[in-house]
Chain A
Amino acid sequence: MAGTFPGSWPTADTAPPAAPRPMPAADDRPLDQLDEPGLVGACLAQRAGAFDLIVERHRRAVYQLCYRFVGNHEDASDLSQDVFLRAYRGLRSFRGQSTLATWLYRIGVNVCLNRVSAKTTLGKLTEPIEEKQFVDARAESPSELMLKDERAARVRAAIAQLPRKQRATLILRTYHEMSHQEIADALGSSVGAVKANFFHALGNLKKLLAEG
């Protein structure tokens, strides 16, 4: 039923006027053989399982992004669900100008920044060490592991206290390997501002760790 929808991408109701990208023709190949535009087209055509596959491919990265913001599993899980739901609602606005992962990160950053209050974040920031049972600890002794966990908890707590844009910049740059330009696009700022935010984020991290 791909042909049911208007024949250009982006679509008429959400499209910017310039350089519309043609909608891929109906593609009957198995979903796991489709590239990103094909998979998005399959979702828009309401092909069964297409959105499930998008979730499956990106759920780990989205969860990790959310976890970096909130520092606990429960909120990260809820926020991840919210990110995918918003992605589903807005799939027609995906223009194919960035990767699907970058687009999902952008949604994730907005969800995390808008929905998570500083109080919630700080209140649930660190989890008990015993909950981290799935961390691979084969190469470390128990004492080394404990020290590493404590260090990580302190750094995580310090990151959570950074101003919002500095925190978002640090997370996207350090853990998700997004380019400065991609981060600028995601946050609606310039490359210069992203680099300045990154610089100040690292400087503030040093101060916060020294205070802690």
Chain B
Amino acid sequence: MHLNTEELVDIAEGTRAEASMPHLAACEPCRAQLRDLRAMLSAAQEVEVPEPSPLFWDHLSARVGQAVASEAADPARLIGSRSLSTWSWLFGARAFQASVAVAAVVLIAVALGTRTSAPPPLPAPASMSISDASVPAELLSDVATDDASLTLVASLTDQVDLETAREAGLAPRGSADHAVAHLSDSELRELGRLLKEELARSGA
């Protein structure tokens, strides 16, 4: 039985010993195929890629750098931004979720404060894992515990711990200034770019 293609390739490449195939010694067609394979392999290996100018490599790097820079200028195509919005990219996914939840607390609390009639001050619900310290007390002071809205707030925030809220720059120390002061250089650049974009859009 003649050698199959896999056996011939293995022998031609030297990964299988000729001696392991006794058929070869007795079969001229198989030996001829093996000779052809080796000859073509050798012919192909001799073909070299002409070395381009030494200046070419830096030129190629520069071209790639420019192409990547123009990609990076488009936030929708930035590395890591495909599944996240610009803002979630800016702050990180967990922190972004925390921001949304805490913002919801603040907004609902403010809304409740404007429509409830002087209820007694109450602590935050036990189900909330954000401590009082993470949300200004004055924002919670007018909130009634049996209000259905509060249940919604609690469900929005029960996965958010203080650490996460701090990451979002929304912890007690977390004024906007505090958050901005803790942005990295690349985040600051992106924030600046977004602000400029917003100003340009609003015609300011």
Q: Does any Cβ of A come within 8 Å of B8's Cβ?
A: yes
CB distance from A55 to the nearest CB of B (A): 5
Which chain B residue shows the least CB distance to A53?
A: B61
Query: A170 near B44 (CB under 8 angstroms)?
Result: yes
| A105 adjacent to chain B (CB < 8 Å) | no
- List B166-204 residues whose CB lies under 8 Å from chain A: 184, 186-187
B128, CB-defined interface residue at 8 Å: no
Q: Is the CB of B79 within 8 A of A174?
A: no
Instruction: Say which one of B63-71, B112-120, B134-142, B154-162 lies at the interface with A.
Output: B63-71
Q: Which residue of B lies closest to A85 (CB)?
A: B67
In the bound assembly, the distance between CA atoms of A85 and B66 in angstroms comes to 10
Task: Determine if B9 and A59 form an interchain contact, defined as CB atoms under 8 angstroms apart.
Answer: no
Asked whether, in the complex, the Cβ of B61 is within 8 Å of the Cβ of A55, the reply is yes
Give the distance to chain B from A135, nearest Cβ to Cβ, in Å: 5
Asked if B46 and A89 sit within 8 Å, CB to CB, the answer is no
For A80, give the chain B residue with the smallest CB separation: B60
In this complex, which of A4, A92, A136, A205 has the most chain B Cβ atoms within 10 angstroms of its Cβ? A4
Residues of A contacting B92 with CB < 8 Å? Answer: 3-5
Of A81, A131, A175, A206, the residue contacting B40 (CB under 8 A) is: A206
Among A13, A81, A134, A200, the residue within 8 A (CB) of B52 is A134
Given contact pairs A52-B61, A89-B77, A91-B79, A67 touches B44 in the complex (Cβ within 8 A): no
Q: Are A174 and B41 in contact (CB under 8 A)?
A: yes
Proximity bits, B31-71, A CB within 8 Å = 1, else 0: 00000110111011111111111101100110111011001
B127 part of interface (Cβ distance < 8 Å): no
Residues of A within 8 A of B108 (CB): none
List residues of chain B with CB within 8 A of the CB of A136: 51
A81-B67, A199-B5 are known contacts. Are A174 and B49 too (CB-CB below 8 A)? no
A1 touches B44 (CB 8 A): no
Q: CB-defined interface of B1-39 with A at 8 Å, one 1/0 digit per residue?
A: 000011011101000000000000000000000001101
A184-210: which residues lie under 8 A (CB-CB) from chain B? 192, 195-196, 198-200, 202-203, 205-206, 209
Taking CB atoms, residues of chain A closer than 8 Å to B64 are 55, 59, 80-81, 84-85
Q: Is A35 in contact with chain B by the CB < 8 A criterion? A: no
Q: How far is the CA of A52 from the CA of B9 in the complex (A)?
A: 39
Asked if B50 and A73 make an inter-chain contact with CB atoms under 8 angstroms apart, the answer reads yes
Q: How far is the CA of A127 from the CA of B48 in the complex (A)?
A: 13
CA distance A152 to B5 in the complex (A): 26
Give the distance in Å from the alpha carbon of A11 to the alpha carbon of B40 in the complex: 44
Cβ of B127 to closest chain A Cβ, rounded Å: 27
Contact of B46 with A51 in the complex, beta carbons under 8 Å: no
Cβ contacts under 8 Å, A29 to chain B? none
Encode contact with B along A130-171: 1 for CB under 8 Å, 0 otherwise. 011011100000000000100110011001000000000010
What would be 29 A-B contacts, judged by CB atoms less than 8 Å apart?
A: A1-B187, A3-B92, A5-B92, A46-B79, A55-B61, A56-B61, A60-B57, A63-B52, A77-B56, A77-B63, A81-B60, A81-B63, A81-B67, A88-B68, A88-B79, A89-B77, A134-B53, A134-B54, A152-B46, A155-B47, A174-B44, A195-B6, A199-B6, A199-B8, A199-B37, A203-B40, A205-B40, A205-B43, A205-B44
Beyond known contacts A3-B92, A59-B60, A199-B5: 14 more, CB 8 A cutoff: A11-B80, A64-B49, A67-B49, A80-B64, A81-B63, A84-B67, A85-B64, A134-B53, A135-B50, A155-B44, A156-B47, A175-B45, A195-B6, A206-B36
A interface with B by C-beta (< 8 Å): 1, 3-6, 11-13, 43-44, 46, 51-52, 55-56, 59-60, 63-64, 67-68, 73, 77, 80-81, 84-85, 88-89, 91-92, 127, 131-132, 134-136, 148, 151-152, 155-156, 159, 170, 174-175, 192, 195-196, 198-200, 202-203, 205-206, 209
